[in-house]
């Protein structure tokens, strides 16, 4: 029984390692494609965004990969700014903060109780 469990653990570990290797391969292919799409300045801008807001950078990367991965067009910094603005506008929600102070029934500013 111990041998079967040991074999199962080894198979599970090998499966996890294969999945991790596949994930790493996909990430590397993604990076290579983005390097082919973006100019150096645009890559630097996207890297800065990625360090601050990784989820926003992932959205931008997905958009770029869907839109430009099959073309030979290079996206420069100005085009990337325009794309970022468009994505930001579509994601921005109108939020407002409203502060409501508690009021007491007998609160009167004119009455000074000394």
Domain boundaries, the chain: 8-90
Dump pLDDT digits (tens) for 25-48: 999 999 999 999 999 999 999 999
- The arithmetic mean of pLDDT across residues 9-30, rounded, is 93
- The arithmetic mean of pLDDT across residues 71-78, rounded, is 91
Question: What CATH topology corresponds to 8-90?
Answer: Helicase, Ruva Protein; domain 3 (1.10.8)
| pTM, full prediction | 0.64
Distance of CA 48 to the CA centre of its chain: 12
Q: What is the DSSP letter of 71?
A: S
User: Do the Cβ atoms of 2 and 37 come closer than 8 Å?
Assistant: no
**Separation between Cα atoms, residue 35 and residue 99, nearest integer Å:** 47
Among 41-50, 57-66, 105-114, which is the least confidently predicted range? 105-114
Beta-bridge mates of residue 75: 38
- The arithmetic mean of pLDDT across residues 66-89, rounded, is 91
Q: What is the DSSP letter of 105?
A: T
């Amino acid at each position: 029984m111990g041998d079967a469990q040991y074999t199962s653990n080894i198979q599970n570990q090998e499966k996890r390692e294969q999945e991790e290797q596949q994930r790493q391969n996909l990430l590397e292919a993604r990076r290579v494609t983005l390097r082919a799409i973006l100019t150096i300045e645009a890559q630097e801008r996207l890297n800065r965004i990625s360090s601050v807001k990784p989820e926003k950078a992932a959205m931008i990367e997905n958009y770029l990969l869907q839109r430009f991965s099959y073309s030979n067009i290079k996206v420069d910094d100005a085009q990337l700014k325009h794309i970022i603005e468009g994505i930001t506008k579509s994601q921005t929600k109108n939020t407002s903060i409203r502060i409501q102070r508690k009021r007491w029934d007998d609160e009167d500013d004119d009455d000074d109780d000394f």
